[in-house]
C-alpha cells in the first residue's frame, strides 16, 4: 500500500507491508539506521540525527521520539528540505509495519521532486519495510535454480528476437528492449515469457507485486548476482533478490 498526497508545497506519503510483530519502537529505529547504511552501501549514514552523504547534510532531524511500537523524527532542515517542518514516522501494529511522512517541504519544485527525490524515497521506504518484514516465511515455493536459469535463457532469446525484428541489433536498442520488457513484466504480473513457460514469477518477499522502481533495481543488480554466483555458488538466495527484497516462486 502506497499513498502520496500534497497540501500546497507540503507532501505526505504512507506505505505499509504486512508483517507479524512484535516490533518495538527501539527496534524500528535501529532497523531504519541499519537500512540506511545497507541500502546505500554505506554512502549515506545517520550522524547526530542527520542523514549525511560525505560532507553533505541531506536531512536534519530532531531527536527521535521512541514509544512502545513507533519512532518519530521531526524534520528540521538539510539540503533536501526547503523549510523545516514535517515528521518521518515508522509504526507497527499486530499485522503490519507502516512508514509515514507528513508535512515535508522539499527544496525541489514539485514536478522535479516527483520525478526524482520522491521516487528514491518511495523505493527506499518499500525496501526498508520489506527488510523489516524479512524474507521468511517465503511468499511461496521458491523456484529451483536450474528452472530460473532456463527461464532467463528464454527471456534473453526473446529480447534478442525483438531487437532483430526492430531493425539492426544495436547494443543500445537491445538494452532498451530488455529493460522495458523485464521492468514491465515484473511490475505488471511478475511473469516474463520465460516465467510463463517455466511456471514461475517474481514477487516481493511479502508476496506483493514489484513496483516499477523495485523492478528496475532488481534488473540493475543482475550483473552483481552473476559475479556473486561465481564467488559463492552455494549462496541460498541470489544477491539481487536479497538487495531488492524479491523472490522467484513456482506457480
What is the CATH classification number for the domain harbouring 31?
3.30.530
Q: Residues 6, 120: one domain?
A: yes
pLDDT at 21 > cutoff 80: no
Q: Residues 18, 112: one domain?
A: yes
d(CA 226, CA 122): 27
Q: pLDDT category, 100, cuts 50, 70, 90?
A: very high
192 occurs within a structural domain:
yes
Q: How many residues are present in the chain?
A: 251
Q: Residues 118, 190: one domain?
A: no
Q: pLDDT category, 225, cuts 50, 70, 90?
A: confident
Residue 49 region by backbone torsions, left for phi larger than 0, else alpha for psi between -120 and 50, else beta: left
What predicted TM-score, i.e. pTM, was given to this entire model?
0.91
Determine the pLDDT at residue 94.
83
Q: Residues 126, 90: one domain?
A: yes
Question: In which domain, by residue range, is 212 found?
Answer: 145-250
Q: Residues 119, 166: one domain?
A: no
Q: Residues 23, 118: one domain?
A: yes
Q: Residues 112, 40: one domain?
A: yes
94 occurs within a structural domain:
yes
22, three cell numbers: 512484535
Find, among 195, 176, 175, the residue nearest to 185 by Cα.
Answer: 195
User: Mean of the pLDDT values across residues 11-40?
Assistant: 93
Q: Residues 120, 207: one domain?
A: no
205, three cell numbers: 518477499
User: Mean of the pLDDT values across residues 201-224?
Assistant: 94
Q: Residues 56, 80: one domain?
A: yes
Structural domains in the chain (count): 2
d(CA 188, CA 26): 36
Helix, strand, or coil here: 46?
strand
pLDDT at 226 > cutoff 80: no
Amino acid at each position: 500500500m502506497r499513498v502520496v498526497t500534497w497540501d500546497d508545497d507540503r507532501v505526505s506519503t504512507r506505505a505499509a507491508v504486512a508483517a507479524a510483530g512484535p516490533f518495538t519502537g527501539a527496534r524500528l529505529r535501529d532497523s531504519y539506521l541499519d537500512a540506511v547504511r545497507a541500502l546505500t552501501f554505506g554512502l549515506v549514514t545517520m550522524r547526530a540525527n542527520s542523514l549525511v552523504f560525505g560532507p553533505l547534510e541531506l536531512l536534519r532531524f530532531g531527536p527521535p521520539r521512541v514509544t512502545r511500537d513507533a519512532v518519530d523524527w521531526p524534520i528540521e532542515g538539510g539540503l533536501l528540505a526547503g523549510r523545516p517542518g514535517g515528521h518521518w514516522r515508522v509504526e507497527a501494529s499486530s499485522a503490519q509495519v507502516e512508514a509515514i511522512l507528513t508535512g515535508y517541504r522539499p527544496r525541489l519544485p514539485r514536478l522535479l521532486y516527483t520525478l526524482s527525490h520522491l521516487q528514491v524515497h518511495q523505493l527506499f521506504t518499500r525496501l526498508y519495510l520489506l527488510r523489516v518484514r524479512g524474507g521468511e516465511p517465503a511468499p511461496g515455493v521458491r523456484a529451483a535454480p536450474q528452472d530460473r536459469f532456463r527461464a532467463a535463457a528464454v527471456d534473453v532469446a526473446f529480447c534478442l528476437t525483438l531487437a532483430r525484428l526492430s531493425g539492426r541489433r544495436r547494443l543500445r536498442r537491445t538494452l532498451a528492449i530488455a529493460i522495458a520488457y523485464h521492468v514491465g513484466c515484473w511490475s505488471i504480473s511478475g511473469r516474463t515469457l520465460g516465467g510463463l513457460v517455466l511456471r514461475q514469477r517474481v514477487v516481493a518477499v511479502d508476496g506483493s507485486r514489484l513496483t516499477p522502481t523495485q523492478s528496475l533495481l532488481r534488473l540493475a543488480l543482475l550483473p552483481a548476482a552473476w559475479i556473486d554466483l561465481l564467488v559463492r555458488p552455494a549462496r541460498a538466495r541470489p544477491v539481487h533478490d536479497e538487495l531488492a527484497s524479491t523472490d522467484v516462486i513456482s506457480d
